[in-house]
Amino acid sequence: MKINNIALVEMAGVDRFNIYALTRMPRGVPLLAAILQEYGYHVDCYIGSIHKIKWQELLSYDVIGFGAISCTAKPTYEMIKKLRAEGYHGQIVVGGPHATVLPDESLAAGADFVVRHEGERTLPELLMAIENSGIENVAGITWVKDGVTMRNRDRTFLSSKELSELPLPVFDTIIDLPRMNIVPITFSRGCPFQCEFCGVAGMYGAKYRCASAEWRISQLRQMKEQYPNIWNTRPIFFTDDNFFGTDQTKPIITMMLERMSTEKLIPPKGWICQMRIADATPELVKLMKAAGCLFVCLGIESVDDETLKLLHKRQTAREIEIGLKNCQAQGLDTLAMTIAGTDTDTFWSFWRSIRRLQKWQITYLQVLALVPLVGTKMTRRLVNEGRKFDHNYDTHNGMHAVIKPLRMSKLGVWASVYLVGFIWFYVLSGKIFRRDFKYRRLILVGLLELLKQLWRNVKDCFISSAISP
């Protein structure tokens, strides 16, 4: 089979209001596209949060590769089934965190292959094997042969050296590129901290791997030169799950930040990152602010020490308070990312935690309901305990109460997300009405979703039951 044209697809979830839909950016496919271009393939990227994907657009491609996270798994399967029903006979490949843990679901939907874990080396090797032969020898894939599911050996993760050799993502392969509102770049993989609820280690391993400072600077310089319109009009999101990594890798990030300032590589619209609160030292925060950091996303989860211990966060409420004060002292805006619905929380204890964060002067607040992500330690524990939760992947985006906590009702979880996370923090506090508030539209969309959910609840509880025979 000769392969010329490839489509790389990231479907959107069903809900319009969640962190994956509101940030109109790709996850990983522009990087895969850059690698495949080096092998001579023509590649187009379809991102569901940017472009409304129609099945007719995909029929002409020789290979279609889907990237799936849990909340986009069902739309991905439905698209695959639709393509097969409409007579698509090309090869379909699925990758991403969800497919890595549950490859049989993708194969049952009609996919030919699943790429497990990282795809930068596996995908081009698989394509060459499809064109020639030797699929049995491609590490890191799951596939079906003569009705039997075959799981080839695992592929080793990319090393720090290999990460430092990857090309710049080719953003101009994205259909409807002007609608992208944030530019993602990833500099590292893996996480050594092993939080119970998190799926990062399951996808990328527990060993932290970090690209060199030289490579990072080269990526920024290339973006500035090759994509001046994007560089000048969009904020950049360093999507590393842990921006500073470990004590051994902090000097690399420090060097990058220093060179961004001295080599005039500060993005005009600023940049965003995710980091641990323990890394928010006065010295590092000052350096980040000088290098153009717009705001920092902090994985706080809770300010209750019992909850932090349950989640295996390896941080304390006191450390959170100190880190936030350090950010405030340097004028660096903060987004406190929190979780509602742990087994140690009640609605009122969660509300008190958010009040503490407000007193510590966080700039923005994100409240997500606890999600049983596939393959995590927490999900395995819940299963072993016989706990019930919603297995509808469409709801696994943090905006739905899918787990019944031990000390809180599902209504309490819902109220924590919407009433505390939106109404109380943004509206009743008056924050949304301030002239300098930058994300008013996003909060208004959240309030609209709140009204929609209230209407659905009323309709399900009263109207539907009233008209039932």
Each residue's pLDDT tens digit, 359-410:
999 999 999 999 999 999 999 999 999 998 999 999 999 989 999 999 999 9
User: Could you tell me the pLDDT band of residue 461, with boundaries at 50, 70 and 90?
Assistant: low
pLDDT confidence band for 468 (50 / 70 / 90)? very low
Name the residue with tokens 């986009």: 72
Banded pLDDT at 459 (limits 50, 70, 90): low
DSSP string, 424-448: IIIIITSGGGSTT-S-HHHHHHHHH
| pLDDT above 80 for 466 | no
Whether residue 119 contacts residue 167, with contact meaning beta carbons closer than 8 Å, is answered with no
pLDDT attached to residue 293:
98
Side-chain half-sphere CA neighbours of 370 within 13 A: 30
The predicted-structure confidence for 320-364, as pLDDT tens digits, reads as follows: 999 999 999 999 999 999 999 999 999 999 999 999 999 999 999
Q: What residues have CB less than 8 Å from 418, skipping those under 6 apart?
A: 446, 449, 450, 453
Q: Is pLDDT above 60 for 463?
A: no
Question: What pLDDT is attached to residue 460?
Answer: 62
Average pLDDT over residues 48-64: 97
Average pLDDT score over residue span 92-111 = 98
Task: Give the integer Cα–Cα distance in Å for 366 and 433.
Answer: 18
CA atoms within 13 A on the CB side of 91: 22
User: What average pLDDT score do residues 92-119 get?
Assistant: 98
Give the other-Cβ count within 10 Å of 154's Cβ: 10
Phi-psi bin for 219: left (phi > 0), alpha (psi -120 to 50), beta? alpha
Tens-place pLDDT, residues 4-55: 999 999 999 988 767 766 789 999 999 999 999 999 999 999 999 999 999 9
Question: 198-210, pLDDT tens digit by residue?
Answer: 999 899 999 999 9
Domains observed in the chain: 5-151 (3.40.50.280), 178-443 (3.80.30.20)
Residue type, 363: T
Q: Is 334 left (phi over 0), alpha (psi -120 to 50) or beta?
A: beta
pLDDT at 469 over 70: no
| For range 150-154, the mean pLDDT | 98
Whether pLDDT at 456 is above 80: no
Q: Transcribe 80-116 into DSSP letters.
A: HHHHHHTT--SEEEEESHHHHH-HHHHHHHT-SEEE-
- Higher pLDDT residue, 433 or 75? 75
